[in-house]
Structures are given as structure tokens and as C-alpha cells.
Amino acid sequence: MPTIFPQITSPHAPLETWQQQLLQSYCNLSDLLNHGIISTEEATKWKHLGEKFKVRITPYYAKLMKNSEKCPIRKQAIPSLKEEDPPLPSWATQTSQEVYGRPTPWDPDPIGDLQKRVAPRITHRYTHRAILHLSSFCAMYCRFCFRKSHLNDNEKNLYNGSLEPALRYLQNAREIREIILTGGDPLSLTDSALEKLLKQIHEIPHIRTVRIHSRMAVTLPHRFSVPLLSLLNQKWNFQLVLVSHFNHPYELTPEAIHSLSQLRRTGITLLNQSVLLNGINNSVACLSTLFQGLYETGVIPYYLHHPDWTPGTFHFRVSIEEGQKLVGQLRGRLTGPAVPDYILDIPQGFGKISLLSSEIKKETEFRNSDPSLLQGAIYTVTAPETRETKASPHRYFDLYPPSIYPQV
């Protein structure tokens, strides 16, 4: 096995392994209280949220937080009362009923992972690629996560069962050229479990690309240890792509940059996808610093996602107009490859579209003269062709609280 890494010294203390970071993680309100991350008042206030949404924060990520409710790192990690979905006015419930067939737009399966599931742990939406849901474990449970319901109350639906049926499906579906390893976080698997899986995929000749979607470079850069880097550096029958998930420039720490640089040495292609999040990164200054930093680290920021309709994440929503305007303003500031496409995943598994294209048109707008009240709009979107569906028009109902929650 080639050893191309030892000449690089790790910035982490020698004994600070990724397993130790996980063991020392803060996993409930008491842990956060005991480590002085939240106050007694906050712990009492949030108690009734109980175990609704899992908490896990690595000591590494916790150290990036400032002791302020406005801290963009803190908001991504610490539970909030805003995770209670708000009651909607009647015009919004009626519109949701009309467009989505349910009284609220949020949905436990917002992008259709389950709707397009073809065997346990595998989703096959587009003809040439499929998604393997390896684990419901993450080094950190992000408050905005689009799989928040799958990682909590619906965990059994997506993550139960062995991988054997999914691997058999992959062997037989010869049209699949790319497999996306996701979760949760696929790099929460041990090195030996990952190696076993990569070897199994290696034996499937039509799989030409393995894409790993992981937030470890952000929340636990220690994960990219020499054994893992060596594993990724082996000679595989497929190309490897790692898609990281940086949302804010504060996350691009020396440790994170070091891990990304190490990954580049393995020859792996590095991409990043971010989510546009109200109060966290919805400003030109923040996004341009983030994307420039990623680009200069050798990571292409290829997607900026419009938030999905996930329960417990309403307070993070922004309007499509705001997102379009922000990305438009990035164009003049950043070099072309550093500007991501702004993407919407059409609910119920109808696939992704670019919000910078003609695939979306506003149909109706709900503007309220009181800016502290909900606003929204209905759009017509043209869904792409997928494995089961032709390109077709759909309606998309967007709803957002423009001024209840302050912008950054």
C-alpha cells in the first residue's frame, strides 16, 4: 500500500483520534450544560423538546462556537425552540393542501428517498446513479439537516437491514454508473467496513464512480487519518469523489484545510455542496468568502441548495428571490468555477433543477404588508427526466419568514 502521507505532520495532538473525539462528543442537553455550552435557563427551556431531534456535537466543532445566539456555527449545532414547526395561517394550509395534498408543506421524506427506494438502503431516482444509505450516524447532527426525520422518528425506514439486497440490485442494474454513499455520514463506518464495501463495489464492473457525501471534513477532520487516506488511495476500478458540506467560512479551519489537502494528495476529486440558511450564510460577504476559500483549497463548490421542506427547519428558510439575487451578486466577485449552481430538489422525489434557469417561473405571490408575517409564492417548475418519469411541470409552494429571523 503506498505511503504518501507520513511527511505531512498532523495538526491534531497525537492522541486525539477521531474515535476519541466521538467518545467525548456532547450528546444531550445535560452534556451541553455540563460543558458550559448552554445555560441552565436554556437547558430548562428546551427540555420539553426531549429526544425529538438527536444532539451530537464533537468537541472540535464546539470549540468553533462563540457564546452568542447569533454565532453561525452555534446555530448549526445547538437545538432551538424554533425547531417546533410553526402554526400556519389558513391561506398557507389551503395552498399547501392544494399543491402538496397535505396541510403543511414540510414532509418527513422531503426529497423522496423512500418514495424512490428500490430495496432496503438504496434509492434509485436517476437512471445512471443510485444512493446507498449506509448509516444513520453523524459526527454532528446538524439542526438544518434535510434528512432530519430519517435520522430521528423515521430512522427504521431508511437504515434497516443488511446491504446485501442493495448490492445485488447494483449488480443487476447495469445502467447504473455511479453510486453515492450517504447517510447520515458514510465515513462514520469503520475503515474495515468501508474497505469491505469498496471491495464489493470494485467487483461491479459497470460502477465507474463512487461519490462519498460526508460532513466529516467540517465536523471531525480527524477522521481523515492515514489509514483512511491509504484506503482511498488504493487502486480502485472506479474514480472516487468526495463531496463535503461546508456552510460557513469559519468552518474552514487549519485542521479542515489540512484534511482537504491530504485528501487531494490521494487523487480524489473534491467537491462541496452548501445549503443556503437564513441567519447563517445568507449574505454575499459570507458566501463569497466561503466559496473563494474552498476554491483555493482545491474544492469546487458545485451546489448551493435551497432548503428542503424538512420538519423542524422552518426558521432556516430563505426565499428563492433572495437566493437568486445572492448568487447573481457572487458572479462579479468570484471566478467562474467558484460560483455554485443554486439548486432546488423538487419535493416527492421529482429531481433537481437549477434555480438560475428557466426551469422555474413564479405563478402566484403571497405578500403580506406586515413584514413580520409569513410570505410565500407558488412556482411552476419543470422537473427533469428521471428513471421513472419524463420531464414534466410541477407546482412548488415556497413559504418563508423574511423578517422574523434576522439575516446575517
Classify 140 as helix, strand or coil.
Answer: coil
Q: Which is nearer to ligand SF4, 106 or 379 (CB)?
A: 106
184 forms part of the interface with ligand SF4 (CB under 6 A): yes
- Footprint of ligand SF4 on 193-222 (CB under 6 A): 215
Q: Which is nearer to ligand SF4, 147 or 222 (CB)?
A: 147
Say if CB 90 and CB 84 are below 8 A apart: no
Distance from C-alpha of 246 to C-alpha of 291, rounded to nearest angstrom? 9
Minimum Å gap between C-beta 185 and ligand SF4 is 5
Note if the bond before 161 is cis, omega within 30 degrees.
no
* HSE of 301, CA atoms in CB hemisphere, 13 A: 31
Say if CB 150 and CB 158 are below 8 A apart: yes
Q: Compute how many residues bind ligand SF4; rule: CB under 6 A.
A: 9
| Grid coordinates of 84 | 417546533
Classify 27 as helix, strand or coil.
Answer: coil
- Footprint of ligand SF4 on 141-160 (CB under 6 A): 141-142, 145, 147
Minimum Å gap between C-beta 366 and ligand SF4 is 29
312 forms part of the interface with ligand SF4 (CB under 6 A): no
Q: Which is nearer to ligand SF4, 297 or 313 (CB)?
A: 313
Stretch that binds ligand SF4, among 15-23, 92-100, 139-147, 232-240 (CB under 6 A): 139-147
131 forms part of the interface with ligand SF4 (CB under 6 A): no
CA torsion, points 41, 43, 46, 50, in degrees to nearest 10?
-150
Stretch that binds ligand SF4, among 5-13, 78-86, 134-142, 324-332 (CB under 6 A): 134-142
Say if CB 75 and CB 280 are below 8 A apart: yes
Stretch that binds ligand SF4, among 137-145, 154-162, 235-243, 295-303 (CB under 6 A): 137-145
CA distances from 61 to 24, 171, 197, 212 (A): 12, 39, 29, 21
CA angle 194, 197, 199 (to 5 degrees): 110
| Grid coordinates of 294 | 474552498
Q: Which is nearer to ligand SF4, 184 or 347 (CB)?
A: 184
Distance from C-alpha of 253 to C-alpha of 64, rounded to nearest angstrom? 9
Minimum Å gap between C-beta 55 and ligand SF4 is 11
Contact map string, positions 76 to 115, toward ligand SF4, x by CB under 6 A:
----------------------------------------
Distance from C-alpha of 252 to C-alpha of 313, rounded to nearest angstrom? 24
185 forms part of the interface with ligand SF4 (CB under 6 A): yes
Classify 8 as helix, strand or coil.
Answer: coil
- Residue with C-alpha cell 505511503? 3
Minimum Å gap between C-beta 10 and ligand SF4 is 22
Instruction: Please name the amino acid found at residue 221.
Output: P
Parallel, antiparallel, or unpaired for β 375-383 and 360-366?
antiparallel
Minimum Å gap between C-beta 141 and ligand SF4 is 5
- Footprint of ligand SF4 on 215-254 (CB under 6 A): 215
Say if CB 380 and CB 398 are below 8 A apart: no
Minimum Å gap between C-beta 150 and ligand SF4 is 9
Q: Which residues of 42-58 are buried (b: 16+ CB within 10 A; e: fewer)?
A: bbeebeebeeebbbbbb
Options 183, 301, 340, 402; binder of ligand SF4; rule CB under 6 A: 183
Q: Would you say how long the chain is, in residues?
A: 408
Q: Which is nearer to ligand SF4, 138 or 212 (CB)?
A: 138
Q: Which is nearer to ligand SF4, 125 or 356 (CB)?
A: 125
Minimum Å gap between C-beta 311 and ligand SF4 is 13
Minimum Å gap between C-beta 323 and ligand SF4 is 18
Summarize as ranges the residues that interact with ligand SF4 (CB under 6 A). Answer: 138, 141-142, 145, 147, 183-185, 215
